[in-house]
Amino acid sequence: MLTYSLEGRNAIVCGSTQGIGRACAIEFARLGAAVTLMARNADGLAKVLAELPRDHKQTHRTIEADFGDWKAVQQKAASHIAAHGPIHILVNNTGGPPAGPIHEAQPDDFLKAMSQHIACNQVLAQTVAPGMRDAKYGRIINIISTSVLMPIKGLGVSNTVRAAVANWARTLAAEVAPLGITVNNLLPGYTRTARLESLIKGRASRAGSTPEEVERDMIASVPAKRFGSPEEIAAVAAFLASPAASYVNGVNLPVDGGRLAAM
């Protein structure tokens, strides 16, 4: 049955102590999933865990892990599955690399970003795939950026690694589709998060303007004439995680208020 319900499904949501990751975790739980929050901040994990909707069928959990160490991420995810059962939904969501022009980036900046994004995504996908295969149900959703389709000025390392994640995911999508697993990329536009606020302040500082002026210019480039909310991104992620999206696979889906369409 093609439903939007996530009842009976187990999900891991990475980077779920704030922003889009937190919103995805809450929305998935609201739709009936048992959610495991995965992030490095123990206090943040405990706070969001207490916020998750639940009923008598749902048991939500946490995994404390630093995405700077892909081997630890792999081990902790595997231990969690061994103890609590298979995962049906994986949301790969990791904070972006520091801003800056690409010509100033050091090789280690790229290596660190690739480890946090590509390597962690890879080991998590490998770890959850057997359970998805056995259940004949799997959803891997990667929260990336519209920079996959149009590079964003001043985010050299991020533009590079986000594009790598997108192509990794689309390659994987074709390989695992016969197993009942879909892999899709969600591309948020300007979304009201701590990351966006930091980028706005950085742009203002470099340009000698104010954050308010930078924000006004950014909003002017969006046909919807506003920033998005994490909850709006989470609603689309929830659709991709649901049975209703069973034939959606290997896509880069912008959720950006029409900004890319206007370019």
Whole-number pLDDT of residue 70: 97
Per residue in 237-246, pLDDT (tens digit) is 999 999 999 9
Q: What mean pLDDT, rounded, does the chain reach?
A: 96
Q: Is 263 a residue whose pLDDT tops 90?
A: no
What is the reported pTM?
Answer: 0.96
Nearest to 4 by CA among 253, 245, 255, 182: 245
Q: Given pLDDT bands bounded at 50, 70 and 90, which one contains residue 57?
A: confident
Report, as an integer, the average pLDDT of 185-211. 93
Beta carbons within 8 Å of 117's beta carbon, 6+ residues apart = 92, 94, 161, 162, 164, 165
Q: Is 2 a residue whose pLDDT tops 90?
A: no
Whole-number pLDDT of residue 95: 86
| Total residue count of the chain as it appears in this document | 263
Whole-number pLDDT of residue 42: 96
Phi, psi for residue 47 in degrees, rounded to 5: -65, -50
Q: What gap in Å lies between CA 256 and CA 43, rounded to an integer?
A: 31
Q: Is 1 a residue whose pLDDT tops 80?
A: no
Q: What gap in Å lies between CA 239 and CA 5, rounded to an integer?
A: 9
% of the chain with per-residue pLDDT over 90: 91
CATH 3.10.129.10 assigned to domain 10-190+229-258? The reply is no
DSSP letter at 177? G
Break the chain into its structural domains and give their ranges.
10-190+229-258
Report, as an integer, the average pLDDT of 149-154. 93
Q: Is 48 a residue whose pLDDT tops 80?
A: yes
